[in-house]
Amino acid sequence: MNIDAKISIEPQHGAENVRVNEPLGEAYSAYWNWWLRHFAKQAEARFPAIYGNSVLHGAEARDPLSRIGMLYASRGCGAVFNLARALGRPAGFDVISHLLTSAPSMPDLVNRWSGVLALQASFRFHENGQGKDFISSVQRNSLVLSPYKVRPANQKPFGPAMLAGVVTGTLESAGIHIQDIWAVSRGSASRPIYRFGNFVDGNLDFDSDILIIPAEETSGFKSEIRMMSSASSLSFHHLLNRPQGPGTNRLLARVVGVLELSVGEHPGLSSTAAGLGLSPRSLSRRLSEAGLGYARLARFVRLRKATRMMASGDCCLDEIAYQASYSDRHHMSRDFRKMAQVTPAGLRELLAR
Q: Are residues 213 and 282 in the same domain?
A: no
Beta bridge partners, 195, equal 180, 198
Q: Are residues 174 and 275 in the same domain?
A: no
Confidence band of 275 (pLDDT split at 50, 70, 90): very high
Q: Are residues 26 and 152 in the same domain?
A: yes
- In sequence order, what are the residues at sequence separation of 6 or more whose Cβ sits closer than 8 angstroms to the Cβ of residue 204? 77, 81, 160, 161, 164, 183, 193, 210
In this predicted structure, the answer to whether residue 325 has a pLDDT above a threshold of 80 is yes
Give the DSSP per-residue string, 44-55.
HHH-HHHHTT--
Better-predicted residue by pLDDT, 246 or 83: 83
Q: Are residues 11 and 110 in the same domain?
A: yes
Residue 114: phi, psi to the nearest 5? -70, -40
In this predicted structure, the answer to whether residue 164 has a pLDDT above a threshold of 80 is yes
Q: Are residues 192 and 295 in the same domain?
A: no
Lowest-pLDDT choice from 42-46, 60-64, 257-261 = 60-64
| Residue 42, domain CATH | 3.90.1520
The stretches of the chain forming alpha helices (DSSP H) are: 26-46, 48-51, 58-62, 64-86, 95-101, 106-124, 159-173, 216-219, 246-261, 269-276, 280-289, 294-311, 317-323, 329-340, 344-351
Calculate the average pLDDT of the chain. Answer: 79
In this predicted structure, the answer to whether residue 309 has a pLDDT above a threshold of 80 is yes
Given this model, what pLDDT does residue 2 score?
28
Task: Count how many domains the chain has.
Answer: 2
Question: Domain boundary at 219, 251, 272, which?
Answer: 219
In this prediction the pTM is: 0.82
Q: Are residues 34 and 93 in the same domain?
A: yes
Q: Is 191 inside a domain boundary?
A: yes
Better-predicted residue by pLDDT, 306 or 117: 306
Q: Is 228 inside a domain boundary?
A: no
| Residue 279, domain CATH | 1.10.10.60
Number of Cβ atoms within 10 Å of the Cβ of 301: 22
Q: Which amino acid is at 102?
A: S
Q: Is 226 inside a domain boundary?
A: no
Given this model, what pLDDT does residue 324 score?
95
Lowest-pLDDT choice from 44-53, 130-139, 176-185 = 130-139
Q: Is 89 inside a domain boundary?
A: yes
Q: Are residues 246 and 160 in the same domain?
A: no
User: Cis before residue 152, ω within 30 degrees of 0?
Assistant: yes
- In sequence order, what are the residues at sequence separation of 6 or more whose Cβ sits closer than 8 angstroms to the Cβ of residue 294? 255, 269, 272, 283, 284, 287
In this predicted structure, the answer to whether residue 136 has a pLDDT above a threshold of 90 is no
Q: Are residues 270 and 343 in the same domain?
A: yes
**Residue range 42-66: mean pLDDT, rounded:** 84
Q: Is 234 inside a domain boundary?
A: no
In this predicted structure, the answer to whether residue 283 has a pLDDT above a threshold of 90 is yes
Q: Are residues 81 and 176 in the same domain?
A: yes
Number of Cβ atoms within 10 Å of the Cβ of 344: 22
Contact by Cβ (8 Å): 307, 265? no
Question: Domain boundary at 166, 187, 219, which?
Answer: 219
Given this model, what pLDDT does residue 327 score?
92
Question: Domain boundary at 219, 254, 284, which?
Answer: 219
**Coil vs helix vs strand at 137:** strand
Q: Are residues 112 and 156 in the same domain?
A: yes
Q: Are residues 37 and 133 in the same domain?
A: yes
Q: Is 59 inside a domain boundary?
A: yes
Q: Are residues 292 and 340 in the same domain?
A: yes
Domain around 308: 241-351
